[in-house]
A and B are shown apart, each in its own frame.
Chain A
Amino acid sequence: MHPLLTFAHDVMPFTKGWPDWILYGLLVFIVAFGILNTLVAPLTGISTYIERRLAGRAQYRWGPNRVGFRSMLSALPITRGLAKLADVQPIKFIGSKIPGGLLQFAADGLKLFTKEDIIPSQADQLLFRASPYVIMAGSFAAFAVLPVSFHFRAVNLNIGIFYILGISSIVVPGILMAGWGSANKWALLGGMRAAAQIVSYEIPVAIALMTAVMLAGTMNMADIVDAQRSGYGIQKAGLLGWYAFRYCGLMLVPFVVYFIGGCAEVNRTPFDLVEGESELVAGYHTEYSGFRWSFFFMAEYSNMFAVGAIATTMFLGGPLPPYPVQFTEALFGPMGNLGMILRFGEGFFWFFAKSYFFVLVMIHMRWTLPRYRVDQLMNVCWKVLIPIALVWFVLMCGVRMVRMEMALGPEKDAVTEGHK
């Protein structure tokens, strides 16, 4: 019997009479739901907090600074008493070391949860209700194959990166569903724009990613990470092994193409004309309110993180640290279980640090750059990014073939290994 089933029987004895397949199906759903919510919901929450703080800085105003641990601590009776003794205000007594507003996203979530869920009477009831779920499913499903730490991810999928490209394409019908179902012409136009934009930018994104796939010789994301451990003929390459810095910097071009295309795919500035307020009110989610509206934003922020995470995995070595990973392997290796936990933490830290770097860059871009016009947007994609991506793909094919012919040093093993 599956260990999951025996566990469920132990914990919940009343499930013993249930047919195995019902219980198994339920458990799979519960586990997947639990993992996704504990991973993705905080990610989106933290991203919204960072976004608001940075927006506050960029626009020279306060960001969220009230709802958080600082105010919670200052509201405690003991703090109030001590502050009274010291004759200062409680909030001053706590000091400014703890950033304020840390719990703003929780308060936002609570607010959205209790808001009225308005469905326009002219809207297509079924499509209007269904679309947030389709979009969420498409953007959450990509998280299944991200290599969060060394040899740690939900699924070890052989086609990893291709799966992400495939599964995230159900977001586009979801967006069109929202746009059309709202029975609102701005929503429809916004949905159409978003779909056209995502479909167009999928091409340079996919070609840029395939350049890295071609060099690694595999689509498995964990194997792509492993392929970035060495480079330039050095086994312990560290930072130099990452694909963005390999081949004398030639790979920087697909990396930048991917990042630009990724920003466009998640509809972030300078490509956010999907929700250009001056033209389209708020785009495809104009008519949404309350919790359904928040689904769109959860999807947007989780997509932002996913773009950063994919860029990290494919071009910046994923969980690999900038120093040669073999050092910490040698250090933590003999330490048994503690060493395993330390190694896991190390990979986890570097993966999230790099991914959040991209999220930060995207947020900075949003508060710095103006937005493109729709024809400029299409020109950038079809006349600039796609030709560059294609030419670079062929170029890297040539480079790889030459290297395989020469097959120098330790590179030989990596090349033939990937070619097998």
Chain B
Amino acid sequence: MIAALGIRLGDPAAYVFLAFAAMTCGSALIVAASRNIVYSAYALLLTFFGVAGLYAFLDADFIAAAQLLVYVGGILVLILFGVMLTHKIRDINLSNETTNPIIGAAIAGFIFLALAYVSIYTKWDVVERTASPTTGEIGKAFVGKYLLPFEASSVLLLGALIGAAYLARREKEKP
């Protein structure tokens, strides 16, 4: 099965890839399955780290560092703040326990098969060696080909910032 994925055993790179993949998937399982949401949040740290490792493995050095900076340094910290300020952390009582394992497993299996089919049978653009360094290329793409989406997302983020500042602002005391 491993050979089918195009990984040659004995190649040190293969082990690096497998280690990062195992780290990402294993910790993602903990995120979903743990009863303690703080553990889930910290397992997410390993997931993000594993994904960053995979990016670095694919020569996408800039995206790997950006992954760490944005997801670990920003989003994960935000999640942790939220989690740590919640009242009950261990053994949360789920109010809607009505689950159907058979239908659930069927849907999950179908989605898995569909994704596996797509990832195996799509004709991907195979690049022998990525443009290294990637930073310059990414920068040029941002201010060239993808200028409009880039600017649109920055306006969106600016709006979010202003909204957050408005919500967090202290109400003026009424005289």
Contact = CB atoms under 8 A, between A and B. Distances in A.
Contact of A170 (B10, B39, B72): B72
Interface in A9-65: 20-21, 24-25
B129 to A, nearest CB: 14
B60 to A, nearest CB: 10
A21 B84 contact: no
Q: Range of interface residues on chain A?
A: 20 to 34
A166 B66 contact: yes
B45 A170 contact: yes
A158 B61 contact: yes
A396 B66 CA distance: 24
Given A124-B38, A158-B61, A159-B61, A173 B45 contact: yes
Contact of B62 (A21, A127, A159, A170): A159
A170 B68 contact: yes
Q: Range of interface residues on chain B?
A: 20 to 34
Contacts of A163: 61, 65
A162 B56 CA distance: 13
Contacts of A169: 68-69, 72-74
B154 interface: no
B77 A199 contact: yes
A166 B77 contact: no
Contact of A167 (B15, B62, B68, B133): B68
Interface of A: 20-21, 24-25, 124, 126-127, 157-159, 162-163, 165-167, 169-170, 172-173, 176-177, 180, 188, 192, 195, 199, 202, 219
Looking at chain A's contact residues, the main secondary structure is helix
Interface of B: 10, 12, 15, 38-39, 42, 45, 49, 52, 61-62, 64-69, 72-74, 76-77, 80-81, 84, 132-133, 135
A5 to B, nearest CB: 10
Nearest to B62: A159
Looking at chain B's contact residues, the main secondary structure is helix
26 contacts: A21-B10, A21-B12, A21-B15, A127-B38, A127-B42, A157-B61, A158-B132, A159-B135, A162-B65, A163-B65, A166-B64, A166-B69, A166-B72, A166-B73, A167-B68, A169-B73, A170-B49, A173-B42, A173-B77, A176-B80, A180-B80, A188-B84, A192-B84, A195-B77, A199-B77, A219-B135
B76 to A, nearest CB: 6
Contacts of B68: 166-167, 169-170
A159 B65 contact: yes
3 closest Cβ contacts across the A-B interface? A169-B73, A166-B65, A166-B68
